[in-house]
Structure 1
Amino acid sequence: MPLVDHLGISVADVAATADRFEPVLTELGYVRTDAGATVFWTRPGETELIFYPARDVGSGPHEHGRIGWQHLAFAIDSRAEVDRLHGVAVAAGWVAVRDPKPYPRFTPRYYASFLEDENGIRIEFMHNPPREVKD
């Protein structure tokens, strides 16, 4: 059971946002459910993602670095898979903020890409394998 049960995100256009997330989340094993004005994504054992219509229409997009959403990072099993998912996201209309590359300032093993959608929502695909244990 995940520690965080669900993450709710307010967006300008729920259907458009869900469509933009769909190729990425489907590749990650999530299943989409449309429920009236909201769309939610589930995957067994993972945090549920829910998109809600913004109450304050015209208040976006969110600006990275301001109070609020920073980004959502998906832990990916390999560098090659980070590269592949980055391509899936770009093909779905996400804008690359940072193309896949190593981030040694985080850890010597950290490899990631960052993308943003029209709401200012950022996602990250990251691979950070555990440090090898030496006896």
Structure 2
Amino acid sequence: MPLLDHLGITVADLERGRAQFHPVLLALGFESGYGDDHSLSWNKDGETELILMAPREDDPAPHRHGRVGWQHLAFAVDSRAEVERLHDIAIAAGWTAVRDPKDYPRFSDRYFASFVEDDSGIRIEFMHNPPREA
């Protein structure tokens, strides 16, 4: 049983959200799930689901990083090259680079990551932090 069953994220524009999230989630191994006028989903291994939802407001403001609520979602990947590949896919899909791929020695001497943000202010991280060798 997965630790995370599903995650729902409200975006300002559902179709723009699809354009930005779809290439990234496919590259992470997710498959398209259901979709309607109110939400879209992607599934990983038939167990974990990510759902994008349309806003309930007429004029939703983008999320602002650092405010109460969402901070970021980190996707752990198998290599530094995979961090760079996913970062490039996200940028090509319209995400904004917050931090280009680089080392983060303050987290660990092996931590390599990038951060991107979509048009709704949703921030994700691609990170590689292999275990310390014995």
Alpha carbon RMSD of aligned pairs, Å?
A: 1.2
Q: C-alpha distance in 2, partners of 1:47/1:57? A: 30
Unaligned runs of 5+ residues in structure 1 are none
Q: C-alpha distance in 2, partners of 1:46/1:127? A: 22
User: What displacement does 1:38 show?
Assistant: 0.8
Moved runs in structure 1, 4+ residues, more than 4 A?
none
| SS of alignment partner, residue 115 of structure 1 | strand
Aligned pair count reads 133
Q: C-alpha distance in 2, partners of 1:11/1:125? A: 20
| Structure 1 counterpart of 2:69 | 68
1:79-130 deviation per Cα after TM superposition (whole angstroms, max 9, x unaligned): 0111111111111111000000000001111000000011000010000000
Q: C-alpha distance in 2, partners of 1:45/1:107? A: 32
Q: C-alpha distance in 2, partners of 1:108/1:50? A: 34
| Structure 2 counterpart of 1:20 | 20
Where in structure 2 are the equivalents of 1:51-62 lying within 5 Å? 51-62=52-63
Quote the sequence identity (%): 62
Unaligned runs of 5+ residues in structure 2 are none
Where in structure 2 are the equivalents of 1:65-104 lying within 5 Å? 65-104=66-105
Structure 1 length as normaliser, TM-score?
0.93
Structure 2 length as normaliser, TM-score?
0.94
1:46-100 deviation per Cα after TM superposition (whole angstroms, max 9, x unaligned): 5210011111232320000001111111001000111111111111111000000
